[in-house]
Amino acid sequence: MRLAVLVGGKGRGSNMKAILHACKTGRIPSEGALVIAPKDDIPAVGIAREYGAEIAILSPKEQHFAADLVAILAAERIDLLCLAGFLKLLPVEVLQAMPDSILNIHPALLPKFGGKGMYGVRVHEAVLRAEQLESGCTVHYVNEQFDEGAILWQMLCPVEPGDTPETLAARILPLEHECYVEAIRKWIADHGKAGRKASM
């Protein structure tokens, strides 16, 4: 089982860190994880180095991003690609190269409060505007639309009276870390440890 984490340009990297930590402690049965980041000078890359993860620098702004990403995933024999803070749509070539093997995390209970432009604080603002009593996070399969793939795992928490987008985000973030690890464990259990590649 080989796993890769694709982080975004802001690259805070807290979900990536939770995944690397779970690989290190054996909670996720993967031979470490490859971290793919758009640039070197973001916090996620520093954290990845501390964990001794392999790192590939590849920006979605590059002309051959799709082909290069597919080549990296193949060369590294990656079974599962996890998006963590990567906020762009993935090119179709990448989706086709990794069928049912790309996950993303979203900081709300999809199918509500997702879609283009819905990330970070905007998601929590929308939840509060809609006067929801609960929120949470969702790990879902990635397809050609924003936040629309099949849901794999969700975790819930209450929205408290007086919550601000920031307090809600702070309650949900640790839940995201737990949710992503559990979702990956479920994916591995559902697909078998050897995964898709074993039949090739």
Only one of the segments 6-14, 46-54, 65-73, 160-168 lies at the binding site for ligand GAR (rule: CB under 6 A); that segment is 6-14
Cβ proximity to ligand GAR, 83 vs 188, nearer residue: 83
Helices assigned H by DSSP within the chain:
14-25, 43-50, 65-75, 92-97, 121-129, 165-191
CB of 197 to ligand GAR, least distance (A): 26
Verify binding: residue 12, ligand GAR, rule CB under 6 A. Answer: yes
Give the amino acid at 153. W
Are 99 and 197 contacting, i.e. CB atoms less than 8 angstroms apart? no
Q: What is the rounded distance in angstroms from the CA atom of residue 193 to the CA atom of residue 200?
A: 14
Verify binding: residue 14, ligand GAR, rule CB under 6 A. Answer: yes
Verify binding: residue 135, ligand GAR, rule CB under 6 A. Answer: no
Cβ proximity to ligand GAR, 12 vs 171, nearer residue: 12
Are 29 and 191 contacting, i.e. CB atoms less than 8 angstroms apart? no
Single out the catalytic residue among 106, 124, 140, 177: 106
Among 15, 30, 101, 132, binds ligand GAR (CB under 6 A): 15
Distance of CA 5 to the CA centre of its chain: 7
Examine the residue annotation and report whether 64 is marked as an active-site residue of this protein. Answer: no
Among 3, 69, 78, 107, binds ligand GAR (CB under 6 A): 107
Query: CA-CA distances (angstroms) from residue 78 to 2, 20, 136, 148?
Result: 5, 15, 29, 23
Verify binding: residue 84, ligand GAR, rule CB under 6 A. Answer: yes
Q: Which 18-77 positions form the footprint of ligand GAR (CB under 6 A)? A: none
Only one of the segments 69-77, 88-96, 100-108, 181-189 lies at the binding site for ligand GAR (rule: CB under 6 A); that segment is 100-108
Are 46 and 17 contacting, i.e. CB atoms less than 8 angstroms apart? no
Q: Which residues are the active-site residues?
A: 106
